[in-house]
Amino acid sequence: MADGATGSPRLLSWHPITGVLEFSPMHLLALVMVTLAVAARAQQLSCDVAPEQELPNCHFTVRSNYALHGRVHTVRVMRQELSPDPRPPRPNTPTLSIQEPGVWVVFSPDGDIIENAGRLSPDGSPLDPTSERTMTAGSKTIVISGTAGDPESFRREESFAPDGTLIEEVAYQHENLLSRYVHGEDSTTGSIEDTTYDADGNEISHSTERSDKRGRVVETIVFNLGRLVLHICDSYDETSDGDPELISRAWFDKNGSRFREIMLRHGEAVSWWQRPNCDELCQPDHGVGLNFAFEHSVYYEFQPGGSLLTTIQHHKGLYGNIDNDDVERLNQDGKMLEKIAYRYVRDKLGNWTERTASVLDPATGQMVDVRLDKRDLTYY
């Protein structure tokens, strides 16, 4: 567990909790926050009212996963383009994106989303908002959502174990089954299984995750429609002080042969390799993400040809990478390829109300203000 800038980095690993195959590095930490909520239940202070330095030792809510502080009720974001993006289009080349803050979100007093919309009308009112209401029946939670014209179009039934772990999620549209997700754990072997089925009971995705006796994930295997899409094994430095750090990650093909590996030291990539002309397993931009709490996050991303891109997100004083100070992308020689920086105006609780995004102009080497986001917040 990261302990400020001097602690061991928290590993941000791909996790197929809903059958989704990829997450951008911008969203990796948010996923970790969601999974941490299982272990940090109601007996702890809610993270959206806890001091920043208390994270992650608090109870995460959906609201706190937006990096919001206090009992925020509504969020409205209005976007203003300041100038064109100075970066030339580069087809088939990864490009940093400005982190999207949402458009319209309404939270319940407990921090759950009860309404959201992706567009605003000229007067600032939400267009086609989706509402959501939650009911609890014993260990089962029922979430019903829809638009004003069809308020009960979707239903999600979630079942939980006594310790609060989600063990099943069933989704319906107008009483028609859409999908079923099942989660299982075996404490004797330290393994976790996640399976998603379609409406006909056919398996969509299946993943297994194995942890060592200290609870660290050491192996992850993911199948999608019966095809292997990810098999990784992690190794840790057992001699380091404090929490042992990740020192290597290896990728394996369907025959169990290693085709890619990265070696790390104190969170920095020191060597890596990839099998030449490897099959479609080399196409996804998989890698390793680490979060140095209250300091920065880093993501090492393999490219299909075997080169390595590094994305560094600076967030001094903040636990995770939701409201970054800046984001830099470097090639494997350490040359900066891209940079996006953010300037904030914040309210008394520390939530930003204005955010200016600037992008590095590769032709001039200067930062150019390209966008202004104004965020109106109301509180309970």
CB contact burial 137-165 (16+ within 10 A = b; e otherwise): eeeebebbbbeeeeeeebbbbbbbeeeee
DSSP symbol at 53: G
In the block, residue with structure tokens 């920086």: 341
Please, what is the end-to-end C-alpha distance for the chain in angstroms? Answer: 33
| 109: number of Cβ within 10 Å | 10
- Report how far residue 102's alpha carbon sits from residue 129's, in angstroms, rounded to the nearest whole number: 13
Query: Cβ distance 265 to 49 under 8 Å?
Result: no
DSSP bridge partners of 46:
59
Alpha-carbon 232 to chain mean position: 19
Cis, peptide link before residue 56, omega less than 30° from 0 = yes
Of 169, 162, 225, nearest in space to 18 by CA: 169
Q: Could you read off the pLDDT tens digit of each residue along the chain, which spans 380 residues?
A: 333 333 446 555 333 333 333 334 334 333 333 333 334 344 578 999 999 999 999 999 999 999 999 999 999 999 999 999 999 987 767 689 999 999 999 999 999 999 999 999 999 999 999 999 999 988 899 999 999 999 999 999 999 998 889 999 999 999 999 999 999 999 888 899 999 999 999 999 999 999 998 889 999 999 999 999 999 999 999 886 667 799 999 999 999 999 999 999 999 999 999 999 887 878 777 899 999 999 999 999 998 889 999 999 999 999 999 999 999 999 999 999 999 999 999 999 999 999 999 999 999 999 999 999 999 999 99
CA 173 – CA 30 distance, rounded (Å): 27
Q: What is the pTM of this model?
A: 0.85
Residue 158 DSSP SS3: strand
Structure tokens at 8: 């061991």
Cα 3 from Cα 294, distance rounded (Å): 8
Q: Which residues contact 83 (CB under 8 A, 6 or more apart)?
A: 368, 369, 370
